[in-house]
């Protein structure tokens, strides 16, 4: 069976990908599109940034209330952009901070559930893969990621907060990966 994304890539032009950097205080998001490669264009076209920003969840409210608000805001983003793919960074946390991993898991769960319900293909990327694809180094710092995203997207200033740069990087990496896979 051919994955859904393969069909979408060749039937719909351009392919839209929403990158999400989940969090319970700030969730970064970015939507990019990449043109369908065709016989008149050799190689893979670079993704184009359409939108990026953050969902800021109110501090001091319960985890449950923030999760409900996160889901509501994600539904709005998915309705607005109608992405073919939603890509989320895989959960990584040092074993010294298991509580952080559990709390972040709640936000990721809402993102994954909401994306799956939207009908988009849901993918996950390791942070090291995203960093390596943008900077050439899998352990790049937040500042290096912001600078790389600024440069590659032709932005006039560094994307801030870093959650936005992370979401843009996730979307760019996913778009390049999908375009490459479907041309080979």
Closest CA to 17 of 173, 182, 180: 173
Task: Say what angle helices 4-11 and 162-181 make with each other, to 10 degrees.
Answer: 90
Backbone angles phi, psi at 157, to 5 degrees: -145, 170
Question: What region does 63 belong to: left with phi over 0, alpha with psi -120 to 50, or beta?
Answer: alpha
- The residues that are catalytic are 21, 89, 163
Contact 14/34 with Cβ under 8 angstroms?
yes
b/e sequence 125-143, b meaning 16+ C-beta within 10 Å: bebebbbebbbeeeebeee
Backbone angles phi, psi at 168, to 5 degrees: -65, -45
Question: What is the signed CA dihedral for 23, 24, 26, 29, rounded to 10 degrees?
Answer: 50
């Amino acid at each position: 069976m051919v994955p859904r994304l393969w069909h979408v890539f060749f039937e719909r032009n351009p392919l839209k990908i929403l990158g999400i950097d989940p969090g319970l205080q700030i969730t970064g998001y970015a939507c990019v599109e990449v043109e369908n490669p065709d016989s008149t264009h050799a190689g893979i076209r670079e993704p184009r940034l359409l939108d990026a920003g953050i969902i800021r969840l109110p501090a001091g409210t319960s985890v449950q209330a923030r999760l409900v608000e996160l889901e509501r805001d994600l539904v709005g983003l998915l309705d607005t952009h109608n992405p073919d793919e939603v890509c989320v960074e895989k959960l990584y946390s040092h074993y010294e901070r298991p509580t952080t991993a559990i709390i972040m898991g709640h936000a990721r769960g809402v993102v994954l559930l909401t994306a799956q319900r939207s009908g988009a293909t849901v993918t996950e990327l390791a942070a090291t893969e995203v960093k390596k694809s943008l900077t050439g180094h899998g352990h790049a710092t937040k500042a290096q990621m912001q600078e790389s995203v600024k440069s590659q997207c032709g932005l006039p200033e560094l994307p801030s907060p870093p959650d936005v740069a992370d979401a843009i990087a996730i979307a760019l990496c996913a778009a390049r990966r999908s375009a490459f896979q479907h041309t080979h």
